[in-house]
Structures are given as structure tokens and as C-alpha cells.
Amino acid sequence: MPATAMNTRGKQVLLDFPALATLKEYDRKSIDGLVKLVEGCAQYNDRVARPAALELDQRLERDPDYFDWDLMKEACKYRLFSLVIPKTIGGLTDKYLVTGMSLAVEELCSASGGIGLAIGAHSLGVAPLLTSGAMAHWDTVLHEIIEEEKKGNPVMMAYAITEPSAGTDVEQPEFLNIAKIGMEAKKVKGGYVLNGRKCFISGGSEAKYITLTASTDRNRPLETWTTFLIDRDMEGFSVPRVELKMGQRACHAAELLFEDVFVPNSHVLGYEGDGMANGILFVMACSRGPVGAIATGIARGAYEHFLAWARTRRNGKKPIEEDRIRMALADMDSAIQENRGVYLAHSLAADVIFRHAFTHPIFKAAFLVPRPVRAFKPYAAVLNSYYGKALVNSLFRFFMSDEAVNDVLSKASLAKFTCADNSMALTSRALELMGVDDSEERRWVEMFYRDAKLTQIYEGTNQLNRLVVYNIDMEKRQAMEVPRPFKRGVR
Amino acid sequence: MMRIQSIIEDQEYRFLRETAAAYAAKELGPRAEELDLNPEASALKEIASRAGEMGLLAALIPEEKGGGGLDDYAFCAALEEIAVHEAGVAASLLIHNAALYPLALNASEAPVSDSFPACLAYPGKVSLSGGKVEGNVPFAFNAGGCQMITVLPSNHGGAVAALLEAAEGVEIKLDPYPMGLRITQPGSINFKSAESSQIISETNLTGSVSRILLLGFASIAVGIIRNSLGKAYDYARERYQAGKMIIEHQQLRIFMAEMIAAIEQARSVVKSACDTEDIGAAVAGWLLATEKAVKAATDGVQIHGGYGYMRDYGMERLMRDAKYCQMYPLTSQEALLRLFDLYEKE
């Protein structure tokens, strides 16, 4: 694989994504920031991820509990844990949060789907903190992530949605009320008591903070679906098991067990009942595009290694000398371009609605208040009160209308299943053309083939995502009516 | 395990199928995951010894020479039944028998008895001169712990030589991390003027051997589709989603119906290809069956959702195994090109 990727990647980004080259004419600073981010990821791949990927994948089959913290520590140098944190709070960018995320995970996954997922799953865990408008925690949790990242200590998060008997069901409002939900958050004085299990939680075993969705009344899950912030030190929380996956092993899929875990009211993100509208749907609208980018990165990894294979002489002949191989390479290139088209379209669309909120003067003004004041308990308590959260949420929702969120969700779902299917087809075809041989490249493409399958499954199966696109684009049906703050229990 | 018995077969085939299925269900089914995770020659040998009772360790060698005396179709039927439970063991038996196949055609004395697993050094560039074998085979199944290697040299009129593993000049390097069919312990083999212990044939047998390989892998592919269908069907009846069992979801019914159709299609091409000596028919059958198997296993994982991706449900193994059936003994485009060469020759 090209060892020179590091130097050339930056220039290549603008060629690979002409839309960004166009945007650069209007906003040089932001686009340069994105290019720099991708360059950093390419450098991380060359230095850290690619040399470790194959061996790590093999090792994790024998020893699924192993987690390579060194990889994550190295990632701190490139600030990969603040990808989706707005600049106002201390992150990388204000204007291109989702686009930056997508470009970064594509780059990372081209070396290893698992390592890319570990970074991506962390950002997925951060997302509900932002979308729910839980400002009080931005100064604590997000600040901690950024500060520790500077010191080289990864503080990771995860988003726990899937339950053992409900995966797709809990990601879609139509199905949530008929889902078999096992987890319940029971209201008690001063907070909630959580009981139940979550499964297949990417990064759940390493996360220090977990954003989790659960219903406070299992008979009316949709109306009471609520996002909680879990600290892994909370009493009663445990990780009984880490799954052995077919691919993307560098990021654990963990089972989380909650036994009478007390979560104080202050750790409710948003307000009770908005876990679907301001939580899952909002987050999925931002994250399914990057999942498409993960799939694209995996496809690109397979393509790059296939190309390297085709250029190697075997039995006195280079496969690339044959027309059929060249045509296949052209097809692969085409699939990757198509993927980039759809996921970038989604990412830019998502940023359009996000950007207004995160760059708005009112929002920025809130962060002009000096940190000590913000950390002052009564101030945080006001922000964290029902009315404080509702105020922030109203501000958010002023810029992000239901229509806009729905539109982005549809684009995101489309990008997700298109990219995942293309990626699966591409990796499968690459292997089919290579056949079995003793080359290192075959092992790489096999790894990407195994990695690719997961992209068709997580973040809602491809079948569900197709239905989402139909519902929103063709039926013009709202994914869900968003409950307004200040009107508790409207539904 | 759900069965689809659409093909009209003679009683003897049916009996063989039942015996093989019973053996596989008892010996292989419960151990399939373990064999995949810890592929060891000793475990394979122990399992295969029972396959020998069915005559599967020398299946294609006539009975008068001490073999099982199965015809091509019977052999394929047995492989299919075994592959329903563990495709790797079926592949191992296939390679073993393909390696012994030249003996069936020519040699008077066969070193059959204790040769399992025999390795077939094919495809690769190997030459034979003065009893010495030179060359390199990048990927051969049954390389680990093999007792005998059959070589199909490209020169010397395509003669076949048998070599013992211990022979000097034979260097076997096991693949550190094969994706599928792991119990076969694939690896690369290097011959550096290795002494051949026996020259079996002076005629080119590459065609006949690759025909057996193609038919065998097509049958294994059918077994994988059946296993995918069985697993998917069982899971779909138990798993609840969106207000109903997932078996009620139309798209998943279509996925499973495609598997049913694939079984029917692939079986009938394999059967008709067994009835003729034509390699073209075998190529066509292999192309169809393996492509369908890859799709069926991938869809099977999709039906299982997240559980399909985890090892515990045994579904992802099928996806890995199926892909290897499609990648050996040649790639699908090479197979197509060969098919056209055959057409042009006629």
C-alpha cells in the first residue's frame, strides 16, 4: 500500500471531492481545516493503524476481550475524539461537523474498519449530548474529553440503543410502541432507576460515559423514550460480555447490564419523552451518513489492496495487464465515487441545519460566559432544569425544523444503504477476482470483506433504511411529530 | 434442518444421503464452530475416520481396488449432506478424494489406506523432470498435516506424481489466517527438486481432476445454501420485530425463497453435470452454485441481523466458507474464459 499516502492525500482530497474544492472558494479556512483533518487521518493510518490492523484482527479472534488502548492514545494526537464537538465548545470546527466526521471515518476505515468504527462509535456517543441540547454537560463531559485528549488520554463515549430482543424496532418511531422492550427506567425520588440489558453496543466496554435510551414506562415507550447519561462508575452497571464478531473487531460490541442503576435527574439529557425525536432520530439523521462513509472507506481499502495485488507480478504476469481486471477496477472506482456522492450530499445537508445553531450569536454568547461561572453550580442547575433544557432545545429547533431533520434523515438513510450495499458488492467482487493465493493483499481484502457486512446491519438494517427513505421521500410522512418543549405530554 | 427433496434419485443415492446426513448431524454439527476456531489436523483426522466407514476416504476409487466405488453423483450427494453441517470437512474430503482420483484412473496399486488427508497441489506452476518436482503452489487445501501430495505438473505430458509430505524439498507454509474452510488448513507449497515417490500417470489428468473439484465445490455450495436456509428459517420464526415474527416480513420471505430457488437450480445443474464427462457443464454448475451460495449466506446473515454477525449463531461462518468455494480452484472469470475456450474448440 502506498506509503506516500501521507504526503499526497491532502491534495487528493479536493480532487476526490470536487464539491469541497468549490466550497473552498467561499470558505477557505473551513475547507482547509477539513483537508488537514483528512491528512491527519492518513498520517494516523500510515503510522499506527495500517501496521497494526491485520495482526490486531487476528489477535482479537483468539482474545476478544483485548482492546488496543495504544491505538486510541495515538488517535488523541490527531484529535480524533473531538471530531463532532463544535468549535465553540473547544472542538475542531463549527461549520462542517458531519462532513468532517464522514471524511475522517472514510479515511480511517480505509486502513481498518474496526479502528474507524472505534472512533466513529465514540462520536456517535457524543452526538446525543449535542442534539438533546444538554448544555450543562457540555462543560463537564465534553470539556473532559477535550482536555484529556490534549494529554493523550482517550475518554470515550458510546451510544446504547439496541436491546437483546429489539434492534431495528427501537430505532424507528413506528415500531417503538410495538417493540419488545426489556429495559426500563423507573422514576424515583431525585432520578431514575435503570434495569435491563443493552447488547451489541459498539465501544460500550471502553466508554467512560454512555448515552443510553430507555423508556420510563414500558407500556408507552414512544412517549416516554428518554436519553440518559451514564457514567461507567455508577453502581450496578457492568459489562458482562464482549461479542466475537466476524469483522470490525478492533471496536468491541459489548453487552451492558444495568442492575438498579440510579441515574440522577441531572443526567437526563433533554427532557423525559424526547428520546426519540431529539435523540435517536436526530442522531441517526447525522450518523447514518458517516456510516455510509465507513462503508466507503472499507470499500476503498479493499480497492487499494486489490489494485496493489493487480500490479504485482505473479506467474510472470501482472493481473492488471488483463482488460477484465482493469474494467473491474473502473467499476470499483465508480462505486466509490457514487458512495462519496451520496454520503457527501447527506453530510453537507446535515451541516447546513447544524451550522446555523452552532454558529448563532446567541449560542456563542452563552459560551462567552467565563468557564468558572458556567461551572458554578447554580448556573449549571438552571441550564439543567426542565426550563433551561427546553430553552436550549427551542433554540435548536428554531434552526432545525422537523422538515429539515426529516429530509436529512432520509438522505442519511439513503446514503447508508447505498454505500453499504456497494461496499459489500465491491469487496465481494475483489475477492472473486483475486481467488485464493498466498498474498498478503488477499488477507487484507478478506478483512475488508468481513468488515463490510456489518455496515449493512448496524444503524438500522438496510431494509429498515429503505423503508425510511420511502416513508419520507415518497409518502411525505413525517418520521415523527416532535414533542415541543414547554408542553409536556402533548402526545 | 429443513429438507428440500425435489430431485428424483435412485434408492442407493437416497440411502447414501441419509447415512451422510446422519453422520454429519451427529459428528460435525455440534463441533462446527470449534473446528472453525481451532483447526487441527488431529481433530480432522478423528472425524474423517468415521467418514471412511461410508467409503468417503477413497470414494472415487473402484471397489476392486479397495475404494468406496462411488460414482460422481453419489460422491457429490454425500458432500452436499456433509456441507450442510460443516463445509470445511466436506471440502477436506473433496480435496482428499480429488488428490486420490488419479489413482482411480490409472494406478494398479493405490496407497489409499492411510493417506488422509491427501493434499492436491493445484493450481500452480509445477514441473516434473527426471522424477524431481519443481515449482510453487500458492494455495492448496489440506496442506496442514497432509500424508500425501498429488501434483499435476504442467510439463511431461501432464503426468501426475505423488509425493510424501516428509519428502525432502517439499516446503509447506500454512496460511496464517484463512478466511473460510479453515479445518482444511490451507497453505502454500514449495517444491525444490523434491523426489516423487510414484509417477501415477503419463497422461494429463488436470481436466478430470478439476472437473471433480468443480462438481464437489458446487455440491458443497448447495450444502451451504441449505444450511443458510435452515438457520435463517429457524431464526425468523423466533425473532419478533415490528409487530410480527420476522418470518412474516415480505423482504425476508423473498430472501429465503431465493435460497429455495437456488437450491433447486444448483442441484439440477450439478446432477446434469455429473451425468456427462463434459467439463463445461461442471464449470457452469460451479459458477451458478457458488454464486448463489455467497448470496444465500450473505442474506442469511442479514436475516439474523446483529446476531448473524456474531460467532455464536454460526451464520457468519457460512458466509466465509461460501466465499472460498467461489475462489477455488479458479476464479469465476477464469472459469468463464475457460468455458468459452471449450466452446470455441468444439
Same domain membership, residue B149 and residue B213? no
d(CA A89, CA B334): 57
- In this predicted model, what pLDDT tens digit does every residue of B312-337 receive, in sequence order? 899 999 999 999 999 999 999 999 99
Same domain membership, residue B136 and residue B49? no
The CB density around residue B172, as the number of other CB atoms within 10 Å, is 19
Q: What is the DSSP string of B288-319?
A: HHHHHHHHHHHHHHHHHTHHHHBGGGSHHHHH
Name which of B137, B174, B179 to mutate to probe chain A: the one with the most chain A Cβ atoms within 10 A of its Cβ: B179
pTM above 0.90, yes or no: yes
Quote the DSSP letter at residue A166: B
The CB density around residue A373, as the number of other CB atoms within 10 Å, is 10
For residue A81, which amino acid is it? F
B chain contacts of residue A178, beta-carbon cutoff 8 Å: 242-243
Q: Name the phi and psi angles at B162, rounded to 5.
A: -110, 135
Same domain membership, residue B187 and residue B213? no
The residues pairing with B194 across neighbouring beta strands, listed in sequence order, are: B133
B chain contacts of residue A245, beta-carbon cutoff 8 Å: 309-311
Same domain membership, residue B163 and residue B50? no
Half-sphere exposure of B158 (CA within 13 A, CB side): 10
Indicate whether B55 belongs to any domain.
yes
Kindly give, in sequence order, each residue whose CB lies less than 8 Å from that of residue B241, ignoring residues fewer than 6 positions away. A166, A167, A168, A169, A175, B249
Kindly give, in sequence order, each residue whose CB lies less than 8 Å from that of residue A22, ignoring residues fewer than 6 positions away. none
Indicate whether B156 belongs to any domain.
yes
> Which one of B133, B166, B201 terminates a domain?
B201
> pLDDT tens, position by position, for chain A (491 residues)?
444 444 578 889 999 999 999 999 999 999 999 999 999 999 999 999 999 999 999 999 999 999 999 999 999 999 999 999 998 888 888 889 999 999 999 999 999 999 999 999 999 999 999 988 888 898 889 999 999 999 999 999 999 999 999 888 888 888 888 899 999 999 999 999 999 999 999 999 999 999 999 999 988 888 889 999 999 999 999 999 999 999 999 999 999 999 999 999 999 998 888 888 888 988 999 999 999 999 999 999 999 999 999 999 887 889 999 999 999 999 999 999 999 999 999 999 999 988 888 888 888 888 888 888 887 888 888 888 888 888 888 887 888 888 888 899 999 999 999 999 999 999 999 999 999 988 999 999 999 999 999 999 999 999 999 999 999 988 887 666 666 665 554 33
Same domain membership, residue B315 and residue B228? yes
Same domain membership, residue B152 and residue B86? no
> What CATH number is attached to the domain comprising B82?
1.10.540.10
Kindly give, in sequence order, each residue whose CB lies less than 8 Å from that of residue A462, ignoring residues fewer than 6 positions away. A416, A417, A420, A421, A456, B302
User: Which residues in chain B belong to E strands, given as ranges?
Assistant: 118-121, 125-129, 132-140, 148-151, 160-164, 170-174, 187-195, 198-201, 240-241, 244-245
Indicate whether B124 belongs to any domain.
yes
The angle at the Cα of A165, spanning A161 to A170, to the nearest 5 degrees, equals: 35
Same domain membership, residue B241 and residue B308? yes
Same domain membership, residue B38 and residue B139? no
**Domain span at B101:** 11-105
B190 CB within 8 Å of a chain A CB = no
Same domain membership, residue B19 and residue B75? yes
Same domain membership, residue B178 and residue B127? yes
Q: Name the phi and psi angles at B243, rounded to 5.
A: 85, -5
> Which one of B105, B137, B158 terminates a domain?
B105
CB contacts < 8 A (A, B):
113
> What CATH number is attached to the domain comprising B329?
1.20.140.10
The CB density around residue B220, as the number of other CB atoms within 10 Å, is 31
Give the per-residue pLDDT at B236: 96
Helix, strand, coil share (%) of chain B residues, nearest 5: 60, 15, 25
Same domain membership, residue B123 and residue B90? no
A456 CB within 8 Å of a chain B CB = yes
- In this predicted model, what pLDDT tens digit does every residue of B6-25 receive, in sequence order? 566 788 888 889 999 999 99
| Residue ranges of chain A assigned to CATH 1.20.140.10 | 5-156+277-474
Quote the DSSP letter at residue A428: H
Kindly give, in sequence order, each residue whose CB lies less than 8 Å from that of residue A248, ignoring residues fewer than 6 positions away. A113, A114, A117, A450, A451, A454
Indicate whether B141 belongs to any domain.
yes
B chain contacts of residue A175, beta-carbon cutoff 8 Å: 241-243
Indicate whether B6 belongs to any domain.
no
Coil, strand or helix: which one is B143? coil
- How confident is the model over B217-227, as a mean pLDDT? 97
Cβ of B173 within 8 Å of Cβ of A199? The answer is no
CA-CA-CA-CA dihedral for B63, B66, B70, B75, to nearest 10: 180
Neighbour order of strands in the sheet with B198-201: B118-121, B148-151, B160-164, B198-201
For the purposes of burial, counting CB atoms within 10 Å of the CB of B199, is it exposed (0-12), middle (13-18) or buried (19 or more)? middle
Is the dihedral angle over the CA atoms A130, A136, A138, A142 positive or is it negative?
negative
> Domain tally for chain B?
3
| Residue ranges of chain A assigned to CATH 2.40.110.10 | 157-274
- Using CB atoms and an 8 Å cut-off, which of residues 223-242 of chain B contact chain A? 240-242
Indicate whether B1 belongs to any domain.
no
Indicate whether B111 belongs to any domain.
no
Give the fold, CATH level 3, of A5-156+277-474.
Butyryl-CoA Dehydrogenase, subunit A; domain 3 (1.20.140)
Max Cα-Cα span within chain A? 77
The CB density around residue B9, as the number of other CB atoms within 10 Å, is 15
d(CA A294, CA A297): 5
ipTM score? 0.95
Q: Which member of B302, B319, B328 has the closest CB to residue A435?
A: B328
Same domain membership, residue B294 and residue B237? yes
> Which one of B140, B168, B201 terminates a domain?
B201
Is A157-274 assigned to CATH 3.10.450.350?
no
